[in-house]
Amino acid sequence: MKTSQLVELENEVLLKTYARPPVVMSHGVGARLYDVEGRSYLDFIAGIAVNGLGYGDQDVLDTLKKQAEKIWHVSNLYHTEPQILLAKALVDYTFADRVFFCNSGTEAIEGAIKLARKWSRQKTGRKQVEILAFKDSFHGRSYGGLSATGQPKFWQDFEPMLPGFNHATFNDMDSVKSAWNENTAAVLLEPIQGEGGIFPVEKSFLQELRQWCDEHQALLIFDEIQCGLGRTGYFCAHDYYGITPDIMTLAKPLAAGLPMGAILMTEQVAEPISVGHHGSTFGGGPLVCQVARTVLDKLSNPALLQNVKNMGAFFVESIKAKNLPAVQAIRGRGLMVGVQVDADPGTIVKKCFDNGLLIGKAGNQTLRFVPPLIVQRSDIEQAVDIFAKALSD
């Protein structure tokens, strides 16, 4: 079918939750995406920070084919080698002692909330358990994730949100202290707020928060769904700070675009959980787990992480070198960059799109750049040229 026919049909049959440009995407190679008419786009949104390895990675494809020929679903009633070995890899690479697999970011957040509530009741004897999250955060679209999300615009018309969530100001310890009460069981934060506008957490704040949680028998939960797995040039975003959480959620790039989430935790968090307390029909199936093993091998490679650091720095320098008056601030780390502009971000996204560059928005006035982690200098030069032209237009 032609593009116009497909777009027309979509308007009739799909729930209208997305504002899409009138093109139909077809396939991709490296950092480039192609539509069905053969037009190519330099992809600096990368499936919203999912396609870390770009499109068509040969190792991922080989793994996928090989595992698909063997088996792709077993259920969690039985052991499978891919699931066990993937958990072992995650434990080896991180602070965690144990892992639970699910199917998305929001599901990982749901599980993290359950773990925190159980731990708090059992280990501290609290009857009420509250989670302290942050304003401008984003943690997903299910009711747990949405209730944790500190942006009321996402709640509107879907209320009531779940009880037991409070929101403090990010990077403000006084705000944490005044939002605290004896029921606060856990603090949940993104080490770099993504949807909220690309705001990295400050090291001194994170240090104080870690200490405060320890002193008040509360858990620290990092949502690394967007900023984790190499995006910042560190395997985990929190590796930059040298501060570890009690629970961490992962998703987006974990299985190279196949739906997958994971909850990582320390032994003390895992201890109160036993058979029947949590589960998933699809979570941790052999196909996604085998793919994720290949992905992890690649995303933990020091050469790839160095590329992320180098290309991130080159990207920021290149934007600065253009001396664009509309640029008000550049934030982020590695290849998770937000450029705050004195212009309508929607118009800039559209102008970039018209010139073959895909980018996204974050927060109010910020453009979000989360390209594949394999991008090269020439991709960045081209992206910055298109972006600069869009802004000066």
Ligand X SMILES: Cc1ncc(COP(=O)(O)O)c(C=O)c1O
Contact positions vs ligand X (CB under 6 A): 104-106, 109, 138-140, 190, 194-195, 223, 225-226, 251
Beta carbon of residue 51, minimum distance to ligand X (angstroms, whole number): 14
User: Is residue 293 within 8 Å of 86, Cβ to Cβ?
Assistant: yes
User: Is residue 116 within 8 Å of 185, Cβ to Cβ?
Assistant: yes
User: Is residue 276 within 8 Å of 98, Cβ to Cβ?
Assistant: no
Beta carbon nearer to ligand X, 30 or 257: 257
Beta carbon of residue 363, minimum distance to ligand X (angstroms, whole number): 12
Q: What is the 3-state secondary structure of the chain?
A: CCHHHHHHHHHHHCCCCCCCCCCCEEEEEECEEEECCCCEEEECCHHHHCCCCCECCHHHHHHHHHHHHHCCCCCCCCCCHHHHHHHHHHHHHCCCCEEEEECCHHHHHHHHHHHHHHHHHHHHCCCCCEEEEEECCCCCCCHHHHHHCECHHHCCCCCCCCCCEEEECCCCHHHHHHHCCCCEEEEEECCEECCCCCEECCHHHHHHHHHHHHHCCCEEEEECCCCCCCCCCCCCHHHHCCCCCCEEEECHHHHECECCEEEEECHHHHCCCCCCCCCCCCCCCHHHHHHHHHHHHHHCCHHHHHHHHHHHHHHHHHHHHCCCCCEEEEEEECCEEEEEECCCHHHHHHHHHHCCEECEEECCCEEEECCCCCCCHHHHHHHHHHHHHHHHC
Beta carbon of residue 166, minimum distance to ligand X (angstroms, whole number): 18
Beta carbon nearer to ligand X, 106 or 184: 106
Beta carbon nearer to ligand X, 308 or 370: 370
Beta carbon nearer to ligand X, 57 or 107: 107
Beta carbon nearer to ligand X, 54 or 140: 140
Beta carbon of residue 339, minimum distance to ligand X (angstroms, whole number): 18
Beta carbon nearer to ligand X, 57 or 190: 190
Beta carbon of residue 19, minimum distance to ligand X (angstroms, whole number): 16
**β-pairing, 247-250 with 336-341?**
unpaired
Beta carbon of residue 147, minimum distance to ligand X (angstroms, whole number): 13
Beta carbon of residue 69, minimum distance to ligand X (angstroms, whole number): 28
Beta carbon nearer to ligand X, 138 or 235: 138
Task: Sheet with 247-250: list strands edge to edge.
Answer: 98-102, 261-265, 247-250, 219-223, 184-189, 130-134, 165-168
Nearest residue relative to ligand X (C-beta) = 105
Beta carbon of residue 70, minimum distance to ligand X (angstroms, whole number): 27
Beta carbon of residue 145, minimum distance to ligand X (angstroms, whole number): 6
Beta carbon of residue 54, minimum distance to ligand X (angstroms, whole number): 19
Beta carbon nearer to ligand X, 30 or 283: 283
For residue 15, what are its two tokens? 């729930």
Beta carbon nearer to ligand X, 222 or 387: 222
Cα 43 from chain centre: 17
For residue 50, what are its two tokens? 């999912």
Beta carbon nearer to ligand X, 190 or 246: 190
Beta carbon of residue 197, minimum distance to ligand X (angstroms, whole number): 12
Beta carbon nearer to ligand X, 176 or 227: 227
